[in-house]
Amino acid sequence: MQAALQPFREAHALENAWAVAQILSPVAPIDDPGRLYDFYRASNEHMVENDVRSVLKYSKQNRHLKNESDAWTDIFVSYWRAIGEILRAEEASNQGRLRDRQAVEVYEAWKAVATNIQKFVSNGMLPSWAVVCMYSAANHLRVLAIKADEQLAQTRNGATFNAGFQDDVVSTTPKSEKLEDAARVFNRMFALCLGDRNPDMNESRKWGVYYMANLQFKTYFKLKAITLSKNVVKAIEAQSDLPLFELYPKAHQVTYKYYVGILAFLQEDYARAETCLQEAFDACFMQAIKNQELILTYLIPCRLITKHAIPSADLLSSFPRLQRIFGPLVACIKRGDLPGFDEALVAGEEEFVKRRIYLTLERGRDIAQRNLLRKVFLAGGYEDLKEGQTEADRIRKSRIPLANFAAALRMGTAGEGSGQILEDDEVECMIANMIYKGLMKGYISREHAMVVVNKKGAFPGTGV
C-alpha cells in the first residue's frame, strides 16, 4: 500500500487538486492501464483500513497530512472497495457473465466514495482544494448511475440505449432510478458550494458552483426535469457574492452558458438564448467539434427567429451532422421553395422533435416565403429612366400586381407546383402578415390590386 499511495502523497504535498482527483478515479489512466489492479491488490478487506491509515497517519513525509489522515483514510478505504466492485464487473462483462445488478453494485460503491468526500469537505476536515475531488467524483457518479439504470431497464424489459453526445440534452433512458438518486447527491454538493461563507475567496468552495450546476443541468435534462434546472439558475442569480463569472475555468463558462441558452430557448426567450449560445460558441475550444455542434443545434434556429438569418454554406460544411440536419431546410429557404421546405421539415421531423427545435424551425417557412416574394419583386424589373437620368439612377419597380405574388405562392417556386389552392383574399392575408412581421416593407392597395413596396429596403436583411 505504501507504493500504491505514493502518487497521492506527492500530489497532496503539492496541493495538486486535479492530480489527486485523477488518483481517485474509477478509470485507469491511459499511460498506466494496470493502476486499478495494482491498487486493489495492495491490500485486502481485513487489512485495508489499517494499511491505508499506517501510510497516511504515521508517515514521516507529509506531516501536514496527519490532521486530515482520518478523512483520507475513510475515502481511500471506500475507494478501494469501489475499485473491487469495478474490477469484478469488468471481469464478469469480459466473460459475458455480468449479473443483473452488478452495475448497480458498482454505482452504490462509488456513491460511498463521492458522499465521503462531500462529508469531509463539508465538515472542514479536508483542504479547500478538495472540492475538485468532490465534483470529479460526482461526475463519475453520474456516468455510473446511467450505466446502472441501463442495466436495470434491460433486465426489466430488454430496452436498448443510444448514448448520444456526452452533454446532449436528449434523454434516451426510459427510467432513471439511480440517476435520480445521484441527482440528490449533486444537489447537496451544489448547496455546499453555493452556501460557503468563507470570506477568503482563495479558500472558498464557491469555485465549484458552476461545475456542480453544469452537472445538475446534464442530470436534470436526462431526467426531463427542466423546472429543476431553472431553479439552479435562479439560485445562482440570487447570489451577490460569487467571484466574477469570467474568472471561472473556460469549460465551466461554456457549459453553463450552453444550458442557460437552451433553457431560454425552451421558454421562447430567443434574444437571451441567442446571446448565451453565441457566447458559449465563441468561447468553445476550437477542437471540441461535438460541443460546437451541440451549441449550433440550438443557435441556428435561434438566429432564424431573431435575425431571420440562415447558416452559411461554409459553416454547415464544417459540421457534417449539421449539414445533414439543416442542409435541406436551408437550401429551400434560400430558394424560396415552399413545397421543398415542407418536405424537408417532414423528413427531419423525428430528429427536430427529439431535440425540441421543430416548432422553432417551422417558423423558418416565413423566411422561405419572404425569399419567394423577393424573387417576384426582383423579376418586376426597373422603372423607366427619366430625362437626364443615368443607369446609376435606376430604381426597381415598387408597384407589383397582387396577381404576380398570388401566382408565385401557388407555384411555390419557379417550375414547381405547390399544390396550394389559394384564394386572392388568402394571398392578401399572407402578404399582410409578412409586412406585419417586418419581413417585407410596404402596403397593399386593394383598390388597384397592387402591392406597393418600399423603394429602398423592401425586404429587410436581404440587401434589397
* CA separation for the pair 303, 271 (Å, rounded): 9
Q: Is the pLDDT confidence value at 161 over 50?
A: no
Q: Is the pLDDT confidence value at 98 over 80?
A: no
Q: Is the pLDDT confidence value at 163 over 50?
A: no
* CA separation for the pair 83, 107 (Å, rounded): 11
Count Cβ neighbours within 10 Å for each residue of 357-368 and write b for 16 or more, e otherwise.
bbebbeebbbbb
* CA separation for the pair 17, 20 (Å, rounded): 5
Q: Is the pLDDT confidence value at 396 over 90?
A: no
Strand partners, 239: none
* CA separation for the pair 379, 151 (Å, rounded): 62
Q: What is the pLDDT of residue 162?
A: 47
Instruction: State the pLDDT confidence band at 159, using cuts at 50, 70 and 90.
Output: very low
Most confident range, picked from 114-123, 152-161, 170-179, 444-453: 114-123
Q: What is the DSSP string of 48-84?
A: HHHHHHHHHHS-SS-GGGGGGHHHHHHHHHHHHHHHH
* CA separation for the pair 285, 279 (Å, rounded): 12
* Cβ neighbours around 268 below 10 Å, total: 10
Q: Is the pLDDT confidence value at 416 over 60?
A: no
Pick from 150-159, 187-196, 337-346, 392-401: least confident? 150-159
Residue keyed to cell 465563441? 282
Q: What angle do CA 254, 259, 263 make, to 5 degrees?
A: 145
Residue 336, helix vs strand vs coil? coil
Instruction: State the pLDDT confidence band at 414, using cuts at 50, 70 and 90.
Output: very low
Q: Is the pLDDT confidence value at 390 over 80?
A: no
Q: Is the pLDDT confidence value at 165 over 60?
A: no
Q: Is the pLDDT confidence value at 129 over 50?
A: yes
Q: What is the pLDDT of residue 297?
A: 94
Span 242-267, average pLDDT: 94
Q: Strand 399-401's sheet: what is its strand order?
A: 399-401, 450-453, 442-445
* CA separation for the pair 308, 337 (Å, rounded): 16
Q: What is the pLDDT of residue 173?
A: 45
According to DSSP, residue 444 is labeled: E
The chain-wide mean pLDDT, for the chain, equals: 87
Q: What is the pLDDT of residue 68?
A: 85
- State pLDDT tens for residues 430-447: 899 989 988 888 888 888
| pTM metric for this prediction | 0.84
Q: pLDDT > 70: what percent of the chain?
A: 92
Q: What is the pLDDT of residue 319?
A: 92
Q: What is the pLDDT of residue 174?
A: 52
* CA separation for the pair 369, 365 (Å, rounded): 6
Residue 152, helix vs strand vs coil? helix
Pick from 50-59, 188-197, 269-278, 340-349: least confident? 50-59
As a 3-state breakdown, the chain gives helix, strand, coil percent values, each rounded to 5, of 65, 5, 30
Instruction: State the pLDDT confidence band at 154, using cuts at 50, 70 and 90.
Output: confident
Q: What is the pLDDT of residue 21?
A: 94
Q: Is the pLDDT confidence value at 417 over 50?
A: no
**Which one is predicted more confidently, 384 or 124?**
124
Q: What angle do CA 120, 85, 155 make, to 5 degrees?
A: 115
Instruction: State the pLDDT confidence band at 59, using cuts at 50, 70 and 90.
Output: low
Q: Is the pLDDT confidence value at 160 over 60?
A: no
Residue type, 379: A
**Which one is predicted more confidently, 398 or 207?**
207
Q: pLDDT > 90: what percent of the chain?
A: 49
